[in-house]
């Protein structure tokens, strides 16, 4: 951003730095993902234990959840 854009953002946001807001948003996003993953895993696990979820579905969920976390960290936190 240019100096004029940064000054306008600070004036409109109550003198909050752009980097602080960015890190807060990324931190909130990753915190939600890391809270969602174990919750969803426990839900899938209970379905698998009650034989309502197949083994392949359980494996696909685990792989997709891990990939989601890794790609999110790579894209937003690097």
| pLDDT grade for 40, boundaries at 50, 70 and 90 | very high
pLDDT at 78 over 90: no
Instruction: Say what the pLDDT of residue 73 is.
Output: 95
Is 72 buried (19+), middle (13-18) or exposed (0-12) by CB count in 10 A? Answer: middle
Q: How many domains does the chain have?
A: 1
Q: Identify the residue whose tokens are 């999110």.
A: 72
Token pair recorded at residue 25: 């948003």
Domain that holds residue 35: 3-76
pLDDT at 36 over 90: yes
The packing angle between helices 3-13 and 18-49, to 10°, is 70
The percent of residues above 70 in pLDDT, for the chain, comes to 100
Is the overall model pTM greater than 0.85, yes or no? Answer: no
The span from the CA of 13 to the CA of 25, in Å, is 14
């Amino acid at each position: 951003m240019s100096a004029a854009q940064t000054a306008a953002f600070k004036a409109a946001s109550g003198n909050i730095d752009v980097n602080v807001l960015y890190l807060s948003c990324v931190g909130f996003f990753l915190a939600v993902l890391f809270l969602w993953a174990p919750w969803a895993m426990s839900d899938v696990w209970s379905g698998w234990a009650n034989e309502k979820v197949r083994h392949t579905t359980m494996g696909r969920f685990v792989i997709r959840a891990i990939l989601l976390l890794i790609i999110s960290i790579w894209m937003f936190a690097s």
